[in-house]
């Protein structure tokens, strides 16, 4: 059997079964939360918990060296991990970086990569404290692990959402997918400067982690970062929480620039918002009574949140702009498609 026969999520589930108790059931030693959320949570002291996460970027799978400058790639490799910490409500403390590179790679390229890592580390207060530099037989592969901390019991998982909670997202959705689509169409920030923010959203994401830490203290019931696209990520949150969801398409916050790009490319911008992925904004749920306190809190972080629907007892559906309802589908991208 090949990974593709199972698909990524069933593969992970099988590996989790193989690990058994060595796979970090909550309550096992210091483990408060194991495999299956944005990050894991460990505790060894009263009062404080530790959050760890890891993400890998593989050349030709996650990025192309001819589209991504090494500075941007370094930034993004750390940013996506910082985003996972933030999605738990944690504050970053440090990161480990493993760079596997072909022996004939230019050192200057690698130095530029670490410049990007360093810029992101400085921006988010998440210094690179170690890692590994190894030879790769083909292509560049970057693994970043990040460690953060939060007060005991403050971690916001994907599992706490309840029917009636509002579904909210920060920022705009689909900008990263728009940037990627433009790159795939041969456009660049040089050729199309009006789309510069879309390229930036794809190449140099800025997860709102300080706002996330604020949200964690403001009554949100579940939170995760948007990495695989709203449809896929909301499916995971709703499955972990055991609830359904109803999302209003006309509430999806899509930037004017993304709409312009969609028109230029002749595609539907709602598809980018629903399935594009890599927005690294926050998806969170909150009881209606707690929602009204959020805009002023988020304004302090210059973050805007939008209500896009509510959790329900039934299925996950999308209410289209014409009022029709369709099932809100499954993951658009997996590493090992069945």
Please give the residues from 212 up to 271 whose contact with a copy of itself meets the rule CB under 8 A: none
Minimum CB distance to a copy of itself, residue 57 (Å): 8
Parallel, antiparallel, or unpaired for β 48-58 and 40-45? antiparallel
Secondary structure in 3-state letters for 237-257: HHHHHCCEEEEEHHHCCCCHH
Give the H/E segment covering residue 210: helix 209-216
- The footprint of a copy of itself on this chain (CB under 8 A) covers a number of residues equal to 86
Give the H/E segment covering residue 73: helix 70-88
Give the DSSP letter of residue 172. -
> Scanning residues 156 to 185, which ones bind a copy of itself (CB under 8 A)?
none
Span of 7-15, 171-179, 204-212, 292-300 interacting with a copy of itself by CB under 8 A:
7-15
> Scanning residues 10 to 39, which ones bind a copy of itself (CB under 8 A)?
11-12, 14-15, 18-24, 28-31, 33-35, 39
> Scanning residues 116 to 135, which ones bind a copy of itself (CB under 8 A)?
117-119, 121-122, 125, 127-135
Task: Tell me the C-alpha distance between 131 and 129, whole Å.
Answer: 7
56 binds a copy of itself (CB under 8 A): yes
149 binds a copy of itself (CB under 8 A): yes
In the structure encoding, which two tokens stand for residue 162, read together?
């309840």
Minimum CB distance to a copy of itself, residue 135 (Å): 5
Span of 138-146, 184-192, 208-216, 244-252 interacting with a copy of itself by CB under 8 A:
138-146
CB closer to a copy of itself out of 54 and 306: 54
The residue whose two tokens read 């990040």 is: 146
Minimum CB distance to a copy of itself, residue 97 (Å): 8
CB closer to a copy of itself out of 98 and 317: 98
Task: Tell me the C-alpha distance between 286 and 310, whole Å.
Answer: 9
CB closer to a copy of itself out of 48 and 320: 48
Specify the 3-state DSSP secondary structure of 56: strand
> Scanning residues 79 to 98, which ones bind a copy of itself (CB under 8 A)?
93-94, 96-98
Q: Which among 136, 143, 73 has a CA at the least distance from the CA of 101?
A: 136
Task: Tell me the C-alpha distance between 9 and 332, whole Å.
Answer: 12
69 binds a copy of itself (CB under 8 A): no
Give the H/E segment covering residue 320: none
């Amino acid at each position: 059997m090949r990974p593709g026969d199972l698909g990524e999520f069933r593969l992970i589930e099988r590996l989790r079964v193989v690990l058994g108790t060595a796979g970090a059931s909550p309550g096992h030693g210091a483990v408060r939360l194991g495999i299956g959320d944005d990050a894991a949570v460990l505790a060894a002291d009263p009062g404080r918990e530790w959050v760890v996460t890891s993400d890998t970027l593989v050349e030709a799978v996650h990025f192309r060296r001819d589209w991504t400058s090494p500075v941007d790639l370094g930034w993004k490799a750390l940013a996506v991990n910082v985003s996972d910490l933030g999605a738990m409500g944690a504050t970053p403390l440090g990161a480990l970086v493993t760079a596997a590179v072909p022996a004939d790679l230019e050192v200057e390229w690698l130095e530029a990569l670490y410049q990007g890592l360093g810029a992101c580390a400085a921006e988010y207060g998440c210094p690179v404290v170690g890692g590994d530099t190894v030879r790769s037989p083909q292509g560049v592969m970057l693994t970043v692990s990040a460690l953060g901390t939060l007060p005991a019991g403050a971690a916001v998982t994907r599992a706490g959402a309840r029917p009636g909670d509002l579904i909210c997202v920060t920022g705009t959705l689909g900008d990263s997918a728009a940037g990627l689509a433009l790159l795939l169409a041969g456009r660049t920030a040089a050729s199309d400067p009006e789309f510069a923010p879309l390229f930036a959203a794809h190449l140099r994401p800025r997860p709102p982690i300080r706002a996330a830490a604020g949200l964690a203290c403001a009554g949100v019931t579940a939170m995760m970062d948007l990495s695989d696209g709203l449809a896929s990520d909301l499916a995971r949150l709703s499955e972990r929480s055991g609830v359904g969801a109803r999302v209003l398409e006309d509430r999806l916050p899509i930037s004017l620039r993304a709409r312009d790009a969609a028109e230029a490319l002749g595609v539907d911008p709602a598809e980018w918002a629903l399935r594009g992925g890599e927005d690294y904004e926050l998806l969170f749920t909150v009881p209606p009574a707690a929602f009204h306190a959020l805009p002023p809190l988020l304004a302090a972080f210059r973050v805007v949140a939008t209500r896009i629907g509510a959790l329900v007892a039934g299925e996950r559906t999308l209410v289209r702009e014409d009022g029709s309802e369709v099932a809100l589908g499954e993951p658009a991208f997996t590493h090992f498609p069945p």
